Amino acid sequence: MRTAHHHFRSRARAVALVAAAAPLLGVLVPAPAQGAPADDAIKIVQLGDSYSAGNGAGSYYGPDGCFRSHDSWAAQYTEWLADQGHHVTFVSRACSGGVLDEMSATRAMGGPILTYPGGMTEEQVKSAARLTDECAVPDPSDYRRDITVSWSDAGSVVKCSMVMQPQLDAVGRDTDVVVLTIGGNDLHFADIVKECFALGIRDPGSCRSQVKYAHDRVLDFQTKLQGVLAALHARMRPDAKVMLLAYPYLSTEQSYMLTSLKDRLPFVTGDRYDVSAAVRGLGDEGDAAQKAAVTAANTAAGTPFVTYVDGVKNVFAGHEPRTPDIAPEFVQGQGRVLIS
């Protein structure tokens, strides 16, 4: 259960991110003309995972499971710009649990199951389902409902599966700035959290294996990220900008040693693993991969259209999740880490 304390800390994280990003983001925004008309508005599009969506901050809207918050760091940054006199429009397509492949591909999110009595045709059943709150789709929307019908002796069973459209669909020539965080779920951080930090009996070997799994895929993550940045550049105007934010560390700097049951017996040496050091090292590897992807994308484009905001870890220093009770704050549903 999310407590008021967690809500406060999540919102505080968003505020800290604005503080880290605003100085860099601000230089991308031209000074507005005095009394600029509404059609001169700056369009900001937010993409990515739960870290961008604002999971944990409350005030949610949009598709179920995305946990888009009106208090996300980008939403607060937009408000800050408005306070400076800019005309701003803001669109969020960030969705909790997002991975790099879903930037350019659809994502199945599941959906409710409804039942109807017999005597109805398939089209009648689908029409009735579309009129329900569970299966309705608002207009405009960044998802669709795939409605499937199966039959039983008692009648029909309807599943209304929600399918998210590719996040990149929200970006076009009218976009001035894209802000995003992406990639943590590609390295299976949720599995690291479960094997290394979740409450209960944890095995150093399993934790080590999950960290190694992520380490072995950092280069692939870098290549995919470079491709996403290139795709963004292809959809935007030459003068438009992209801001990629780093992640905070998943653990504090304080050593957290995971030991096997055997190691806890007197006069017996078992397996030991410094989880904090390993996970923070993986975070540094991820930063290096993101920086390399940004450099490569800018070089290929012939212009520095992407800026990497790498001060996030410094902003959060000393305020990372408490170990070993990280799991309730960072893992929820679909086996993906929700970095809020």
Q: What is the DSSP string of 235-255?
A: HS-TT-EEEEEPPPPSS-SS-
Amino acid (1-letter code) at residue 83: D
Task: Report the predicted TM-score, pTM, of the whole model to 2 decimal places.
Answer: 0.80
Q: Which CATH number fits domain 4-105+167-330: 3.40.50.1110, 2.40.50.180, 1.10.357.140, 3.90.79.10?
A: 3.40.50.1110
Q: Is there a contact between 186 and 99 (Cβ–Cβ < 8 Å)?
A: yes
Instruction: Give the start-to-end residue ranges of the domains of the chain.
Output: 4-105+167-330, 113-163
Alpha-carbon distance of 33 to 21, in angstroms, equals 24
Helix pair angle (218-235, 204-216), 10° resolution:
40
Among 45-59, 100-114, 315-329, name the one with the lowest average pLDDT. Answer: 315-329
Q: Is there a contact between 103 and 180 (Cβ–Cβ < 8 Å)?
A: no
Residues with Cβ within 8 Å of residue 155, at least 6 apart in sequence: 115, 116, 117, 118, 119, 120
3-state secondary structure of 339: coil
Per-residue pLDDT reduced to its tens digit, 253-303:
777 787 766 555 555 456 788 888 999 999 999 999 999 999 999 999 999
Per-residue pLDDT reduced to its tens digit, 86-127:
888 999 999 999 999 999 999 999 899 999 998 899 999 999
Alpha-carbon distance of 197 to 214, in angstroms, equals 16
| DSSP one-letter code for 258 | E
